[in-house]
Structure 1
Amino acid sequence: MAFRLQLEPRALRTLRGCPSAVRERLQSELGALVAGLPLEGPPVTVRAGLVVLDSGFRVHYHLESGHGLVRLTHMQPPPGQAG
């Protein structure tokens, strides 16, 4: 099943504040995050999670498997990086 990625306003503001090279890396890491989510087993209506990407960004998300949606609710840059 293909999932869509949706950024809530708070996450989008963080992403917009990043240099383009950082945004490109995050795009790749977020794609890998979605591809690596545990999607097997019985359908789960909503599942919340937190993951730290290789770049150090902390990403809070809600997986809505019934709608094929991963909503990024908050992204926090690593210490010392503007975002």
Structure 2
Amino acid sequence: MALRLQLAPRALRTLCGCPSSMRERLQSELGALVAGLPLDGPLVPGGTGLVVLDSGFRVRYRLELAHRLLLLTHVQAPHTQAR
């Protein structure tokens, strides 16, 4: 099943403040996250989650299977970038 990825305004503001190299790495990691989601496993429609990516970003998300949507509700940059 293909999912669309959508960023909440708060998450988008966080990413706008990051260098482009960091955004590119995050994009790659988010692609891997979406590809590896256990869509038939413990997540349920409307399920939420929190993941810390290898880059150090903390990502909160909500999965809306009915709309084939993965909504990033909050993105927190690594401590070295959060200012």
Distance 1:51 1:41, change over 3 A: closer
Question: What does residue range 37-52 of structure 1 map to in structure 2 within 5 Å?
Answer: 37-40=37-40, 44-52=44-52
Runs of 4+ deviating beyond 4 Å: none
Shift of 1:67: 1.1
Q: Deviations over 1:37-75 (max 9, x none)?
A: 111159832100000000000000001111100000000
Is 2:6 aligned against 1:6? Answer: yes
Matches within 5 A, 1:22-61: 22-40=22-40, 44-61=44-61
Identity in percent: 72
For 1:32 and 1:42, how far apart are their aligned partners in 2? 18
Unaligned ranges ≥5, structure 1: none
Cα RMSD of the aligned pairs, angstroms, is: 1.8
Compute the TM-score of the two structures, normalised by the length of structure 1.
0.92
- CA offsets 1:23-44 (integer angstroms, 9 cap, x no match): 0000000111111111115983
Q: How far did 1:82 drift?
A: 3.6
Instruction: Work out whether residues 44 and 66 of structure 1, in 8 Å CA contact, stay in contact via their aligned partners in 2.
Output: no
